Structure 1
């Protein structure tokens, strides 16, 4: 679980629907729709003019040659105008989509706020980190006190007992960070069972407490074994997020250069805490993107639309993959819920272990609620899939 905690501190993605982000995106979409509607109206009016001119032309006789020439010229001008209108529509879409792409790209960067989720779930992860620490269980510490007293009398007289003591010392020392499952758990359990079989009536206290410790060790061992499978999924997610983070940084740097955006202003934006400063950069960057696209549209780059479309698809891909990874995170949290729900019967497991598991289950419920409130994987993926208007 330390891996997951580290993963949260560095790479957790809080996909919050931020009002400021939506303002910029919605403004771009609104202006885009106004322009496209205006072009559509121009097309309709153009069609009406061509139809009227064509009808007028059909009513003229052969003798009205001069008027025919004039009407034909007017029709040609309107046809030329129609071509310009039709050519302008995809440019408007590309310019709007280019602005949207960069706005959404920097929104992803602001979404990477690991402290928010970590602080919200700090209680859960703090407790989970101590969950398999035997020193936090009175059942164990009480038994250990009796055991140490018993072993002092046996020390150096029986090599088997000396070996067992070393394994007990190994799991008792939390600094060793040895997970309490698998072969180490089996070795300790077998060793304590052997000790139990060698106890005499004078060792009544140790004898009465040993079954409880065996149940505790078995409970923790079984839980940790199942939890390790879930931990491996966090490790996989962590690796994929690191790869995605690297791709993201490369894409941001490339677009900042392409759109002539001041890198110093972008760095200030990353550390900005005031809404006004954040909003100021978003407005600035949008103006820079639009200015560059207008410059390119004026014949300064014949392939500018293809370049912008490439950026669009790259941003869309990163957003969708962020959403997918977030969905996997939520799925793993739900698997933890199922895991904790299995350890609720004190007749099968250590009563103290069950109590701590129930306590952690309650904390995990709050973590899930916070996660769902802040992460919306399906909506994020759906929004990303339809974030652009097609040419």
Structure 2
């Protein structure tokens, strides 16, 4: 298993690079790092998504952490990495570990890891440890002794998102379609937005243990998303990658560009905050010229230094070299929050924003 800077963790092809021995070795190194860089009483937050065996490997990671003397909060349901990071920050934990997969290959499984500030942990920050011959405790014993404590990651997450969307009062009556591609974002999007008067339709409504041969890149599913929108008389559609790191948004048949999505979300956050938004962009991403807007200030980061500098900055929205969105000074790609903000914009603010308002009106007439 190798560390991938785009993946923000270690990953490998199941049964080839990602084997149990490789997993146990990497997990031991990660746990040793967190043990050396934590305060007394802090726990490690561990989560998993809908990938095959992700839950079982998360439980195994909990056993390894417990065997090395760490206390663990383990999610009791699948969750995107961004959801687990938000929980870890709220709990003031020593860090976050998420067992998840690649957005381009369903055969890839990996371990994402973040520190106590929500920033990615690089392998240069820890060293390999000799193999631990100590017998690991059984998972049920970890639960019994309290070394591993199960928790529902949606409780804190719902509270945090509800605070952000406290002024969410739709002025438009458009229907919308949300497609999580069998990923863990499905339950969170449905569960949270059902508390608001949104007429929505979720496609791919089953959580699958194995994504199999499904093409995981959202851009390959926009045509199907549009067909689902037509079938449900919806004018807005959002499709997320299973790990909730990237998304595509359709207003009618028009797919929002990264620049358009940024403008919509910046206007939304400015409306919510009552002040301008601070945006950070990796120079390597071809965002192009941005119009001068009072609600947005942009800082450009040098190529190759995005994550190294991001953890020291205070920002509302950030965009990395792959066009992934980050929010609220956290170092984990978060397309789920992006989907909330784009929904908010379309249903609350679009009437006052010319081009998109006209597009939605045109769709409504059709």
The answer to whether TM tops 0.5 is: no
Choose 1 or 2 for highest CA Rg: 1
Higher strand share: 2
Q: TM-score, with normalisation over the residues of structure 1?
A: 0.20
Higher RCO structure (Cα 8 Å, ≥6 apart)? 1
Q: TM-score, with normalisation over the residues of structure 2?
A: 0.21
